[in-house]
Amino acid sequence: MRPEIAALLRDDLRGLSAYGAPQLDVAVRLNTNENSYALPDEVAEAVIAAMAGEVKTLNRYPDRDAVKLRSDLAAYLGHGLTAERVWAANGSNEIQQQVLQAFGGPGRTAIGFVPAYSMHPLLAAGTATSWVGLGRGEDFGLTIDQVVRGIKEYRPDVVFLCSPNNPTGTALDLSIVEAAIGATDGIVVVDEAYAEFARPGTPSALTLLEAYPRLVVSRTMSKAFAFAGARVGYLAADPSIVDAVQLVRLPYHLSSLTQAAARAALAHAPALLSTVEAIKEQRDRIVTVLRERGHRVADSDANFILFGVHGDQKVHWQRMVDSGVLVRDVGLPGWLRVTAGTPEETDAFLKAVEGTA
87 and 209 both lie in a single domain: yes
Q: Where is 241: in which H helix or E strand?
A: helix 239-245
Tell me the pLDDT of the chain averaged across its residues: 96
Q: 267, 287, 309 — which closes off a domain?
A: 267
Question: In this predicted structure, what is the pLDDT of residue 340?
Answer: 98
What residue numbers bound the domain in which 28 lies? 21-39+271-352
345-350 average pLDDT score? 98
205 and 280 both lie in a single domain: no
In percent, how much of the chain has pLDDT > 90? Answer: 92
User: Using CB atoms within 10 A of its CB, is residue 86 exposed (0-12), middle (13-18) or buried (19+)?
Assistant: buried
Residues for the chain: how many in total? Answer: 357
245-263 average pLDDT score? 97
Question: In this predicted structure, what is the pLDDT of residue 227?
Answer: 97
How do residues 100-133 score in pLDDT, each as one tens digit?
999 999 999 999 999 999 999 999 999 999 999 9
Query: Which CATH number fits the domain that encloses residue 30?
Result: 3.90.1150.10
Distance between CA atoms of residues 80 and 301, nearest Å: 25
How do residues 71-84 score in pLDDT, each as one tens digit?
999 999 999 999 99
Asked whether the beta carbons of 321 and 303 are under 8 A apart, the reply is no
When divided into structural domains, the chain yields a total of 2
240 and 293 both lie in a single domain: no
Does residue 5 fall inside a structural domain? Answer: no
27 and 53 both lie in a single domain: no
Query: Which CATH number fits the domain that encloses residue 84?
Result: 3.40.640.10
Please count the other Cβ atoms lying within 10 Å of the Cβ belonging to residue 221: 26
340-346 average pLDDT score? 98
DSSP letters for 278-301:
HHHHHHHHHHHHHHHTT--B---S
Residue 17 has pLDDT above 90, yes or no: no
104 by DSSP, 3-state: which?
Answer: coil
Helices 41-55 and 269-292 cross at an angle (nearest 10°) of: 130
151 and 233 both lie in a single domain: yes
211-233 average pLDDT score? 98
Q: Name beta bridge partners: 235.
A: 87, 218
One-letter identity of residue 248: V
184-190 average pLDDT score? 98
Q: In the β-sheet with 86-89, what is the strand arrangement from edge to edge?
A: 86-89, 233-237, 215-220, 187-191, 158-162, 109-114, 130-135
Distance between CA atoms of residues 328 and 335, nearest Å: 9
61-67 average pLDDT score? 98
Residue 355 has pLDDT above 90, yes or no: no
Structure confidence at residue 18 as a pLDDT band (50, 70, 90):
confident
H helices of 31-106, in order, are 41-55, 67-77, 91-103
Distance between CA atoms of residues 224 and 41, nearest Å: 17
Q: Name beta bridge partners: 336.
A: 307
